[in-house]
Homo-oligomer: A and B are copies of this chain.
Amino acid sequence: MFRAYDKEGDISYALGAFPTVELIKKRPEDIVAIALHSKFRMTDETASILDGIKDKVITSDRDVERVARKGNTFMVGAFRKRFRAFGRETHVALVRPSDAGNLGTIMRTMLGFGIRNLAVIGEAADVYDPRTVRASMGAIFSLNIALFGDWNEYAAAHTENKLLFMLDARSRSLSPEIRQASPFAAVFGNEGAGLPPELAECGTPVIIRHSKDIDSLNLPQAVAIGLYELTKPSFANG
């Protein structure tokens, strides 16, 4: 079952101890197998975590190497991909995100700000690419992820108040005043193209003001800033 990752398949991989431990803790029901390399250094903590799923653990250098490719990965978790529709809940929506690493980074930031629902809309990077799983540092196992073919399909399913992060200067500035009551959706466009201007009518267009010396903030930075501002009241007292 450990073979080169196939985007079309049902199985993906957590590469390395950190994301694999998150997989075991958060999504044990989706584990297919855990492969350990003979160079894996077992700690008491890892041993006790693995003890609960003993019959799924194998030691096989070849299986680890076939999936991980990089020389310093000694633990790999194979798991079933899971998509899960969510109801009327606060979420992040990404329109045509194109970079697997960015997707993972964004998932981790979402978890950091307590948002556990992610909608991915249109042609997009593979949310279960092992690079995404790795970049998320396991956060992916704490999220509900739903895919939508296009904006209309998404908008039909989700009528939450939408904050549309756009570069249009007529947008409202990101600030405490634009916070919405839950549930709301924070919507971000593609790395290169941003959100199409015509979406401005579908909610409240918001802009993160910055200097004219750059065209736009990088997507993961824009998401981080947006979620920080929008969720601040939830975390103000630690």
Contact = CB atoms under 8 A, between A and B. Distances in A.
A236 interface: yes
Given A225-B228, A228-B225, A235 B209 contact: yes
Contact of A228 (B114, B218, B228): B228
Interface in A148-166: none
Contacts of A236: 173, 175, 209
Interface stretch (A45-53, A105-113, A196-204): A105-113
Nearest to A214: B112
Contact of A211 (B208, B220, B235): B235
A238 interface: yes
A142 interface: yes
Interface string A178-209: 00000000000000000000000000000111
Given A208-B228, A224-B224, A214 B114 contact: no
A169 B238 contact: yes
Question: Copies of this chain, how many?
Answer: 2
Contact of A210 (B211, B222, B235): B235
B235 A111 contact: no
A29 interface: no
Contacts of A214: 108, 111-112, 137, 139
Interface in A133-152: 137, 139, 142
A102 B114 CA distance: 24
A222 B228 CA distance: 10
A221 interface: yes
Given A105-B218, A137-B214, A225-B225, 12 more contacts: A109-B218, A109-B221, A111-B213, A111-B214, A113-B210, A114-B211, A207-B238, A209-B232, A209-B236, A221-B224, A224-B224, A224-B225
Interface of A: 105, 108-109, 111-114, 137, 139, 142, 169, 173, 175, 207-211, 213-214, 217-218, 220-222, 224-225, 228-229, 232, 235-238
18 contacts: A108-B214, A109-B217, A111-B214, A112-B210, A112-B213, A137-B214, A139-B213, A169-B238, A173-B236, A207-B238, A208-B228, A210-B235, A218-B220, A220-B221, A224-B225, A225-B228, A228-B228, A228-B229
